[in-house]
Structure 1
Amino acid sequence: MKALLYLTWIWVQTQLLCFSLATGAQCPNGIQWQPDNMPKRDDLCCNTWKCNKENQDLTVKSEEFNNCCTCYSFTSWEDGEVNLGIEYISVSGKSLVIDENKFDENSMYMIEHQYGEMTEIPSNFCDWDPDSRLQGIFSAYILKIQYYWLRIVKLDLRGNKIRQIVDLNCIRHLDSIDLSYNRISKLTNSSINQLSFLRKIDLSHNEIQTMEPYFLSQSTQSIFFADISNNQLPVLDVSNMISLVPFCSIDYTSNVIEHLVNELDFTLDPEKHYGPGFVHLNENAIQQFPDFADLLNLESLQQLGQLISFGFDLREIDLVCDCNFEPFLDLTIAIKKTLWRDYMNITCKSPENLKGKTAIDVHASLLNCTFKREDNCPRNCKCVDQPYTNTVYIDCSDLALREMPENLPNSTFSAYIHLNLSNNYITELKDTNYLHKLTVLDLSANHLKDFSNGMANKLENVTIIISDNPYLLKIPQQFQHRNICRTEMENVYINCGCEMVWIEEWLKAKSCVGEKLFNCHVPKHVQVFARDFSADLLDCGPNVFFFHMILTFIAVIIGVLSLAAALVYKFWYEIYILWKRLKQKNIDKHHPEFNYDVAITFNEEDDQLRKWVMNVLVSGLAKIGYKVFLPFRDVPFGNERDGEIIKTFCETRAFLLILSESYLHESEDNDAGRSWTENEWKYAWHQFKSDHRKNIVLLNYDYISSLDVSHRQIAAFLRVGCVVQFGNHGNNLISEVISKIGPHCGYLPAKSLGNKKPVLDRAMLPPDPRKNQRNHLSSSIGSFSSLKLVPIENVDSKKEPKNGNHLDLLFNVQGQERNEKPKFVRECCKHKLQQVNNLDK
């Protein structure tokens, strides 16, 4: 009995031990710890010997304590995992995970097979291997190992010949992965992205050349340690350096990284807290200090303060101490005053005068960059960017230049330019694209002949040095607004006549210590220094004032005429169209001498537009009596199209252009040259200009603004011509087109009508609540186009109308026959019926 109780006690203790291992109840040398950034798990412990040096109350988890536990955490079941076996199934290194024992749901398992011949992750690990033969031969192993997937916590396959990491996301509780010393060449961001329990991954000493963005830093991951050292990475994405959750270390030591990139446009969010963590970048090929402001899409470098607790170890790199490092120097010095870390001890490898010096001890004025010819530095000039002064210094002196450079280099760090063009042969100032960036313009010892008021205005805040220019005899009056201290004009001799009397007031109002002023040639006097010049030395009577008034008046007249000429040139076609319309007094007059009433031109390749034109517009006009010419329909097959169009347009009364987006772009898309529609417009325009009887009407099909039309004639018509806006007339679109075109050639008006237009009783049209909507307009126009317009005086109702005559068509609204004709037909128009019947015949 005692033996039975003893065995029962041992069994209970064993079960409790297993349970404690599984639930994390045991934390030797530490306490149970739950990180804020990881999913709920109770199997992690924190080493209190490392993270509780001050014996603080461990019930209060401070940020510092949690950060320390990130680096000194361990699992409650550590070193108690059950190892699963590996069995090779081919000479090529293919293998399976096996277990000869019965699965224990209370145990933790690991797969450890070091320095073997494996070329792949075991084939039944997440069933990644698509080889169909496995299911037939090893189905038992494949089915059994699936029970272990949620209990495997460690994968150690270091020292094998594995070439790729397959999708491991089925092993949801995987805590650590060691695939170091293998032959992996690429890391994809979908292979471990769902392993939220993963704390450690070691991929060092592989052949990794490609690492996709967010391989280590997705929101579902909480990796504490990542070792990617001793690989062949040429670039590194910033998303694999910075994480929203704390981490201990990411090691990229001894790769060949030259640049940091931001492939997916990662942006550092000022509202979020990142890390902290430590990133090792030492012993790489980086030469320039990373521009974190640009890489992380920051508005200013001050936002880098969010990464203050991060460490970026850049020791043992060939750092070039130039302008790229200067913007970060002040930030680094500020950090140095409060916090010094060994990894800040970066030394300069170049330039030669800074080699071996600690980077943060170099004065910012020495951190400069030299631009080369390919950076737009003018030939033979010296271009140096000095961010410390926010200025690019460009020295183009003594180069026998005859004009100012066209372009200058653009700086990422400096906003201003100091341009030295002294001792050359430059004769005039050019209005270049960099004038607004200049702080100093040195044109001393050149051959300047003129300095305009316009250039003086643009250079008002620029220090100008124009000393020793013997051909400069006049300075602009705009100089009276300049600061004398920012204008050097030594050894310049100005002709100071009556028009230069403003110089006296300028020099009296402003003064400067050490000023460098010009000399004056005064008529009938000797040469005087600028400050000795006054109006008393000149004989400037009222005639001179009157002369200046006349010159001013003439200048104003010339300016007004120039403005008028510019407006006429700009709006020439608008003016011409208005003038033509004023001369077309008889636009509504009947003209039977033309063979066609209207020629329609539009983009024939637009299927939707072509159907509307044929089924609605042309059909409606034809039923009313208009004879319509469509080039693509009416030009005989095989005839020369341009010749037929020219001939027919001469015999056509009006021209209707249907303006659409496709019409405007047709000529641009035509590789063969001038498009048909462009030719048709040209011929219509010439007919419009040469014959006062003819007219052009635009139907704005796509609501195009004149500002969007580059064709000046068409744009002018949109502004002042005969334009019908598609969709803005309800059921009256065709009626509006007819009013612009005028009566058709076959129309014979009654005596009482004179030149009146055909009358349509609009009350006969069915109401349509969807006015001004293009997608319903065609149906409304379709019902309208089935009507025939007949002058009221031409209607005769003495006899009952025959089927199919004009009256039947007129009153057949939307296919519904009326049993009785309208009242005005029965009472007023009976005597006209015979005339209508004759028209039908």
Structure 2
Amino acid sequence: MTICGKICRCISLLIVQTHMSCCMLACYSDQQHTINNQSLTYLNVTVLDNCSAGTHTLSAKDNDIESLTEASFRISDLCKFYYLGLISLTNNNINTIGKKTFSCFPRLTKLDLSYNKLTTLVEGVFDNLIFLEVLDLSYNSIRHIDTSVFGRDRLTYLNHVYLQNNDLHEMEPWPYVLNSIRFFDIRNNSISRFSNNMGWTYDLREPFLTIVDMRYNNLTDWRDEYLLQYHPQGDVSVDLITYNMDLRDNPWKCDCYVHNIVSRFQSSFFLHIPNDPINLPCETPYQLHNELMLYVPRLNDLVCNVTMDCPEHCICQQQPENQILTVDCSGQGLKSMPQTLPPLPTNYTYVLNVSFNSITEVTWRKYTEKIQTLDLQGNGLQTIEPLAIRETPNLKFMDLKNNNLKSLPNTMQKIVFEMTNLSNNPFVCDCDMIWMGGWIKRSPVFTFGRDMKCTFNEEQYLITEVSNDLLNCSKYLAIGLAIGFGILLVVVTIVVVWAKRCPYETKVVLFKYFGFHPRDKYIVDREAETDYDVYVSFDDENIHIRQWVLMKLAAKLEPTYKMFIPIRDLPVGTDRGDETIKSLERSKRIIILLSDGYEQHGWCAFECQRAEILDFSEGRIIYIKYHDSVMEILNQDPWKTRLNDRKVFSPSGNKSDRRWFWDKLKYELPVVLQKDRKYCFYA
């Protein structure tokens, strides 16, 4: 191109872009096109008019371009720059890039969008850049990247990605979805967690060759789930090495959550292979500051503070190395054992330190059975409740020194003596502590505390030498037996008197609690050909009585007893008279529910008459008074004669009647073997 031609094209461009202060556009023979430092606010084909179709490099850096769209590089729907291999738009004010903006550049290998104001990478923004190798998006304000941007079968030749100095808050598995990526720089963001919105799963057919630089982020709290979400069955320590992530220079907190990966790493061969990217210094806690996380020498230092349900003024910590939850309430002025402790993870036990308080008595708590170690030294302790020790299957050590204990419950024997410290307690020799001698003797000879002493008659004796003869315990045994027999005699006397005054209630109690039924005179109970245990005769036209029978009486007695309730069990289409007679004859008991309308109900009168004919032995008919008002009728004949010497039960009478109603009713019913009764027999 002649010099004159170049000048003409520059003049033409100046006319179109009247806002430009000067023209520094140049197209060189090597097909490089630059539009630098010209305060461009947008980019389109008019601005690029002097750029030939064969241009290889396009640079428009150091301008004021604010957005890019598909029209920025197209003439109508035609792609002009088919051979473009490099685009540099660094140091502009680009805040948005539309879909398919770069779709005209199938041969583009490098795209530089650094030092702009991008916040989001939308779906399809880099589609058709199949030969792109280098993508520089550093020094923007990117907070969101659509899951499709680095999806499979896209950007298949991409090998270098620069996303440092943006505003990303979570790390997606972008570097691993595309097998071509070799370097992924994501330093100096705000990443605090790993996510998997892409739904990627670990499939390591060949080792990952990608180097992922994640230094200078905000990674503080480690969670195994970060890596397990990609590889649920994987070993997090192995996967961490495999991913080639440089996680240094992050404010790591070395707490209980890192214990699993640290313990796995230290038990693997990776421990002996130098690897700088995993030399992760701990930022907190202060006692582990600058210790390398994966090389922490004392795994029991990896703890987490627990605040939920932690007693006031106490320190609660979860320690995975020993699977314990320590609760330190030492010197906090406690007057009793804490009421509650934090909930335990699976397979954990408590280490409870309540030393140097003012606890005078050890009592049972719901958490007692989960205590492994209990420190009660220096409390002025006086008594220990036997249940507090009995219900401690996990208790391994107990420190009781420097207290005011005069005796111990014999449940202490469940702990081996050498795992206790009982020094400096004023033990008193008495008959209830003779067991301690044998307990102490079972410990090794040189166990601390074997020479403990107790006081008797102002003299000191080795506890191992205290005996029944020394303390004259036989005298106290005789006194105890005499007191015991005296109490037993009083109890038996009370029972006999009560049984004499209330014989019927006594039999009911025996049947209720022991299944003992002192009667054998009901012949009908031994008849094999009976279909029902109970037939219920009642006024089925009264809705209240009907509901009581169906909802309460039946609920209480079935399925233990097989009941026949006419309104419910009479076959449809049959003669009621015949069926009633047949059912009455095949029932062991007949309950007659006496109410206001019972005598006026025709079928009730019929059932009552048939029941009296069948009642050849006392006890077949059971009368229940439902309404108190029927007493006027019952005191007159023929009911007065019918009920002569018969018991009438009432579910709604006085307090005594209501309390005994169901027990007495079941006593009068046929004796059956119930599943919830261990034994049942006749007298």
Unaligned runs of 5+ in 2: 1-27, 493-508, 516-531, 584-683
- 1:192-246 C-alpha deviation (Å, 9 max, x unpaired): 588665543221111123345675465756542221111123x223434654736
**Structure 2 contact 336–361 (Cα < 8 Å) conserved:** yes
> Are residue 166 (structure 1) and residue 98 (structure 2) matched?
yes
Residue equivalent to 2:120: 186
Counterparts of 1:148 and 1:714, CA distance in 2: 93
Of 63, 67, 90 in structure 2, the residue corresponding to residue 120 of structure 1 is 67
CA displacement at 1:316 relative to structure 2: 3.6
Q: Secondary structure at the match of 1:654?
A: helix
- 1:809-831 C-alpha deviation (Å, 9 max, x unpaired): xxxxxxxxxxxxxxxxxxxxxxx
Residue equivalent to 2:546: 654
In the TM superposition, 1:304-315 aligns within 5 A as 304-315=237-248
In the TM superposition, 1:541-560 aligns within 5 A as none
> Are residue 206 (structure 1) and residue 140 (structure 2) matched?
yes
**Structure 1 contact 244–273 (Cα < 8 Å) conserved:** no
Of 486, 492, 499 in structure 1, the residue corresponding to residue 425 of structure 2 is 492
Q: Secondary structure at the match of 1:585?
A: strand
Counterparts of 2:134 and 2:569, CA distance in 1: 82
CA displacement at 1:275 relative to structure 2: 2.2
- 1:279-304 C-alpha deviation (Å, 9 max, x unpaired): 2122234445x334555357799443
Of 330, 333, 337 in structure 2, the residue corresponding to residue 397 of structure 1 is 330
Residue equivalent to 2:160: 225
Residue equivalent to 1:585: 536
Amino acid at match of 1:585: V
**Structure 1 contact 97–124 (Cα < 8 Å) conserved:** no
Residue equivalent to 1:776: none
Residue equivalent to 1:130: none
In the TM superposition, 1:709-720 aligns within 5 A as 720=559
Compared with structure 1, are the counterparts of its residues 427 and 714 closer, same or farther at alpha carbon in structure 2 (3 Å cutoff)? farther
Residue equivalent to 2:213: 280
Counterparts of 1:273 and 1:440, CA distance in 2: 50
In the TM superposition, 1:660-699 aligns within 5 A as 688=548, 695-696=549-550
Amino acid at match of 1:93: Y
Moved more, 204-213 or 267-276: 267-276
Amino acid at match of 1:487: T
TM-score, normalising length from structure 1?
0.48
CA displacement at 1:530 relative to structure 2: 2.6
> Identity of paired residues, percent?
18
- 1:437-493 C-alpha deviation (Å, 9 max, x unpaired): 54321012223522324633425432111223325633133x333222212222335
- 1:6-39 C-alpha deviation (Å, 9 max, x unpaired): xxxxxxxxxxxxxxxxxxxxxxxxxxxxxxxxxx
Of 41, 44, 48 in structure 2, the residue corresponding to residue 95 of structure 1 is 44
Compared with structure 1, are the counterparts of its residues 183 and 496 closer, same or farther at alpha carbon in structure 2 (3 Å cutoff)? same
Compared with structure 1, are the counterparts of its residues 310 and 102 closer, same or farther at alpha carbon in structure 2 (3 Å cutoff)? closer
Residue equivalent to 1:296: 228
Amino acid at match of 2:401: S
Of 238, 245, 253 in structure 1, the residue corresponding to residue 187 of structure 2 is 253
Residue equivalent to 1:468: 402
Counterparts of 1:395 and 1:457, CA distance in 2: 22
Counterparts of 1:123 and 1:714, CA distance in 2: 83
Compared with structure 1, are the counterparts of its residues 414 and 312 closer, same or farther at alpha carbon in structure 2 (3 Å cutoff)? farther
Counterparts of 1:378 and 1:81, CA distance in 2: 77
Counterparts of 2:554 and 2:183, CA distance in 1: 66
The structure where helix makes up a greater share of residues is: 1
Of 562, 565, 568 in structure 2, the residue corresponding to residue 740 of structure 1 is 568
**Structure 1 contact 270–303 (Cα < 8 Å) conserved:** no
**Structure 2 contact 103–126 (Cα < 8 Å) conserved:** no
Residue equivalent to 1:664: none
Counterparts of 1:753 and 1:384, CA distance in 2: 75
In the TM superposition, 1:740-819 aligns within 5 A as 740=568
> Are residue 262 (structure 1) and residue 209 (structure 2) matched?
no
**Structure 1 contact 251–281 (Cα < 8 Å) conserved:** yes
CA displacement at 1:424 relative to structure 2: 1.1
Counterparts of 2:263 and 2:579, CA distance in 1: 91
CA displacement at 1:185 relative to structure 2: 0.9
Q: Secondary structure at the match of 2:418?
A: helix
Compared with structure 1, are the counterparts of its residues 516 and 143 closer, same or farther at alpha carbon in structure 2 (3 Å cutoff)? same
Amino acid at match of 2:398: I
**Structure 1 contact 423–444 (Cα < 8 Å) conserved:** yes
**Structure 1 contact 193–220 (Cα < 8 Å) conserved:** yes
Compared with structure 1, are the counterparts of its residues 424 and 207 closer, same or farther at alpha carbon in structure 2 (3 Å cutoff)? same
Compared with structure 1, are the counterparts of its residues 358 and 81 closer, same or farther at alpha carbon in structure 2 (3 Å cutoff)? farther
- 1:104-132 C-alpha deviation (Å, 9 max, x unpaired): 9xx89776543444322233379xxxxxx
- 1:656-697 C-alpha deviation (Å, 9 max, x unpaired): xxxxxxxxxxxxxxxxxxxxxxxxxxxxxxxx1xxxxxx326
Counterparts of 1:715 and 1:221, CA distance in 2: 76
Compared with structure 1, are the counterparts of its residues 493 and 365 closer, same or farther at alpha carbon in structure 2 (3 Å cutoff)? same
**Structure 1 contact 217–242 (Cα < 8 Å) conserved:** no
CA displacement at 1:740 relative to structure 2: 1.5
In the TM superposition, 1:287-686 aligns within 5 A as 287-288=220-221, 290-292=222-224, 295-297=227-229, 302-320=235-253, 328-329=261-262, 338-347=272-281, 349=283, 363-364=297-298, 367-368=301-302, 371=305, 374=307, 377-383=310-316, 391=324, 393-408=326-341, 415=348, 417-429=350-362, 431-432=364-365, 434-435=367-368, 438-446=371-379, 447-453=381-387, 455-471=389-405, 473-477=407-411, 479-493=412-426, 498=431, 500-511=433-444, 513-516=446-449, 527-537=460-470, 538-540=472-474, 585-586=536-537, 594=541, 649-650=543-544, 654-655=546-547
Counterparts of 2:396 and 2:486, CA distance in 1: 31
Compared with structure 1, are the counterparts of its residues 354 and 483 closer, same or farther at alpha carbon in structure 2 (3 Å cutoff)? closer
- 1:542-595 C-alpha deviation (Å, 9 max, x unpaired): 8689789989999xx9xxx99x8899xxxxxxxxxxxxx9775326x8x6xx3x
Amino acid at match of 2:568: K
TM-score, normalising length from structure 2?
0.58
CA displacement at 1:509 relative to structure 2: 3.5
**Structure 1 contact 444–466 (Cα < 8 Å) conserved:** yes
Count of paired positions: 510
Unaligned runs of 5+ in 1: 1-78, 127-137, 568-580, 597-648, 656-687, 689-694, 698-712, 725-735, 758-841
